[in-house]
Structure 1
Amino acid sequence: MNAPALQTPARRLKTDVAIIGGGIVGASAALALRQLGHRVVLLERDLCGSRSSGVNYGGVRRQGRLPVQLPLAQRAHPIWARLPELIGTDGEYRRSGHFKIARSESDMAALEAYADLSRDFDLGLQLLSADQVRAQCGPWLGGAAVGGSLCPEDGQANPRLVSPAFARAAARAGAQVLERHAVHEVVHDGALFHLRAGDGLQVQAPVLLNCAGAWAGALAAQFGEPVPLVSNHPAMAVTEPLPAFLPWSLGVEGGGIYCRQVPSGQLVLGGGQAEPVSADALHTRVAAPTLGTLMQQAIDLLPELRHAQLIRTWSGTEGNLPDRQPVLGPSATTPGLFHGFGFCGAGFQIGPAVGEVLAELVHSGRSSTPIEAFAITRFPSPAAVQTPLPGAHR
């Protein structure tokens, strides 16, 4: 991040809301809270947007989400359209369309069922037959497709631009955004949270937002709300520039490869089997066998990639929960604590809406968007213990 977000803080800060985690959720919450008049201190261990929020695929899609997530996705949809006025950049966001390929008749039946299931949310889905796919796509798509589902207003953006821009916008709005300030300890005295971070910095606040991504489970567990959060890292790659041939952001029914072509001609690819990794592993890389599998899947789907050169690969650390749903909402054990984590690799599009929801919960105690399905109480919660955060937060 660039100035004005970076600051040299006093050794003691008192604020209305402290936020742990400077990804797209924490940063957008900081911005929304400032717009509501709350004082905010955001603490980020590294650089804002440098973890999963900044290294993800960049898909901005609603199609394919479970119905309980669609209210959040619909709330986020217009936010993306006004990024320039909100955060000062369009983040290379464009509504290119998101096309989900069916590779079998059962896949196509699943896409048809989803179109019926999501009809009340007005996603504008268009079901395409094999002939329609060939007519629209020409030779670039391999013979695996028997049809598909197009969501014309879904799209893509550059996460390396969008996520840090939310933090900069929050700083311009008056939030104290402190990068390279790892949180070492959090204690609640019944009224205030006391955070020790960075080089002796102490922060006091009556409200704390847990937006620490794959590392958020440690904080939740400290306050008696353990969750089965596991970490893994996806395989990501980008090709050399190629002639334009892929008009949509592309996914596959049932999972697997996903890809998009940016205006420079490069293809951004992701997918394959995400590899498990310890959250303590701050640096990740794509293993060679995983990369080979990814590229074989990509070539099977897009023969145009047969002779393409990869110029960069990367990964990140994602937090996943077994039901593939995030934790979003108030703590059940500790007044003033709110959680927003566990987005299972699908938090980029809904992130700005999640930030607004967290700000609403702080400001008024309720959200205008239904979030009951994401309550942390769906997991067992033994009694809280007040202990320093483990190594993942150091």
Structure 2
Amino acid sequence: MSQPVTNTTARADVIIVGGGIMGAATAFFARQRGLSVILLERDLVGQYASGTNFGNVRRQGRFLPQLPLANRSRALWGDLPRLIGENVEFLPSGHVRVAFKAEDSARLEQYAQDCKPYGLELELYNGCKAVERFPMLAPDVDCASFSPLDGHANPRLAAPAFGRAARRAGATVQERAEVSNITRTAEDFVVETADGLRFTAPLLQISSGAWGQKMAAAFGENLPLTPKAPQMGVTEPVPYRIHPVIGYASWVEEEGVYLRQVERGNIVFGGGLRSTVDLNTKRAQLNPLNLVRQMPHLERILPDFARLRIIRTWSGIEGYTDDDLPVMGPSARVPGLYYAFGFCGHGFQLGPGVGATMADLLATGKTEIPLEPFSIARFAAPVDP
């Protein structure tokens, strides 16, 4: 996907560091806004969290003030074939959250009321009504909350498709371009890569996922961010009968598993406990014990899961802030600097909306999507760069 850069210095309106779905979508939408764009990715577009996640395109269960962004993103997911000219296997199959305990059911019921002003309508089914509506579920489900317009997509396709669309639209997309240094002059950001290339622009967006913390700190903005490795897997193919994504609505981390079936018949699953990450080697630890711990909770949702063979497991590198909310919007210290990283394992659905919203900011300095809860200014006092 990379384009050869013949000059040692290239200039654009904006440089985006990080080619996950956030950076690639921003590059695409910024080109639609008429900005010249350079997208720099240290390895391959979509290689890390954006390409290794579960593929959930869900709105329900989100932090309520995040719903305007999620709603914008959901509208874009439905229009992606026209917008970017590629099919990323988005399927609006619906999304179900199931609870087995009364206190978890009460949270689902309260959320269904609280999300209505944000334009999200959920269907609630209690007891036997839940199993009648979703017969694959265990008979002791206490409550099921259904979001009919949510669904899932293929994470291995989405970010690369945005990267290719951005390139077709005129963006410079440079892979294998590891950033070694970023400085600020009176007018521009100067970004240098390990192989000696130099890029300049008056605007800079950092979308480097779990590595974003280090880059923000270089500008005197520190934040608590922990890299974690999710546990995912896929089963052998079986007849296709589970249409919606199904998640275990529990506030106990180990119980928070989820699954979806693709039309080829395989069941993709994830959730539960996370493992550790080494950012220097870019390696996520895959813990076999976490797979074992997932099984009883997956079987609690879907009793037939116990009879299936697991054919592959994997992990990725995700960045988690202490308050489980992303860093998104302008820097609190440096004019022209913007952030979009730290999406805490639930950023895939937001990707198109993040790209469009960041393009608003880059082009005009403002957006109609409320971003105050995600400002980097909410964290501790700045550190010296």
Counterpart selection for 1:65 from 62, 70, 79: 62
Helix, strand or coil at the partner of 2:268: strand
- Matched letter for residue 192 of structure 1: D
Query: For the residues of structure 1 that align with 2:344 and 2:212, how far apart are their CA atoms?
Result: 13
Q: Indicate whether 1:147 and 2:143 are aligned.
A: yes
- Matched letter for residue 371 of structure 1: L
Q: Which moved more, 1:256-265 or 1:351-360?
A: 351-360
* TM-score (ref. length: structure 1): 0.94
Contact 1:33/1:40 (8 A) holds in 2: yes
1:49-104 Cα deviation digits (max 9, x unpaired): 11101110000000000111001001111100111011222211111000000111
**TM-aligned CA deviation for residue 8 of structure 1:** 4.2
* TM-score (ref. length: structure 2): 0.96
- Matched letter for residue 179 of structure 2: V
Counterpart selection for 2:72 from 72, 75, 81: 75
Query: For the residues of structure 1 that align with 2:236 and 2:125, how far apart are their CA atoms?
Result: 30
Counterpart selection for 2:224 from 206, 221, 228: 228
- Matched letter for residue 42 of structure 2: R
Query: For the residues of structure 1 that align with 2:370 and 2:23, how far apart are their CA atoms?
Result: 19
Query: For the residues of structure 1 that align with 2:226 and 2:278, how far apart are their CA atoms?
Result: 8
- Matched letter for residue 249 of structure 1: V
- Equivalent positions of 1:1-394 (< 5 A) are 2=1, 5-138=2-135, 140-255=136-251, 256-385=256-385
1:217-276 Cα deviation digits (max 9, x unpaired): 011001010110110010000001012232210111125110000000100000110123
Query: For the residues of structure 2 that align with 1:8 and 1:305, how far apart are their CA atoms?
Result: 50
What is the RMSD computed on CA atoms of the aligned residues?
A: 1.3
Query: For the residues of structure 1 that align with 2:338 and 2:165, how far apart are their CA atoms?
Result: 22
Contact 1:285/1:314 (8 A) holds in 2: no
Contact 1:141/1:302 (8 A) holds in 2: yes
- Matched letter for residue 242 of structure 2: L
Query: For the residues of structure 1 that align with 2:23 and 2:329, how far apart are their CA atoms?
Result: 13
**TM-aligned CA deviation for residue 144 of structure 1:** 4.1
Contact 2:277/2:283 (8 A) holds in 1: no
Query: For the residues of structure 2 that align with 1:360 and 1:148, how far apart are their CA atoms?
Result: 37
- Matched letter for residue 137 of structure 2: L
- Matched letter for residue 65 of structure 1: R
Q: Which moved more, 1:305-314 or 1:18-27?
A: 305-314
Helix, strand or coil at the partner of 1:93: coil
**TM-aligned CA deviation for residue 296 of structure 1:** 2.7
**TM-aligned CA deviation for residue 314 of structure 1:** 0.6
Query: For the residues of structure 2 that align with 1:276 and 1:212, how far apart are their CA atoms?
Result: 18
Contact 1:180/1:198 (8 A) holds in 2: no
The number of equivalent residue pairs is 381
Helix, strand or coil at the partner of 2:278: coil
Query: For the residues of structure 2 that align with 1:8 and 1:315, how far apart are their CA atoms?
Result: 33
Helix, strand or coil at the partner of 1:323: coil
Query: For the residues of structure 1 that align with 2:361 and 2:248, how far apart are their CA atoms?
Result: 36
**TM-aligned CA deviation for residue 33 of structure 1:** 0.9
1:259-300 Cα deviation digits (max 9, x unpaired): 000000100000110123232241224211111111232123
Contact 1:95/1:156 (8 A) holds in 2: yes
Query: For the residues of structure 2 that align with 1:9 and 1:174, how far apart are their CA atoms?
Result: 16
**TM-aligned CA deviation for residue 168 of structure 1:** 0.5
Q: Which moved more, 1:293-302 or 1:124-133?
A: 293-302
List runs of 5+ in structure 2 lacking aligned partners. Answer: none
Helix, strand or coil at the partner of 1:273: coil
Query: For the residues of structure 2 that align with 1:319 and 1:287, how far apart are their CA atoms?
Result: 18
Aligned to 1:388: none
Helix, strand or coil at the partner of 2:273: strand
Identity %: 42
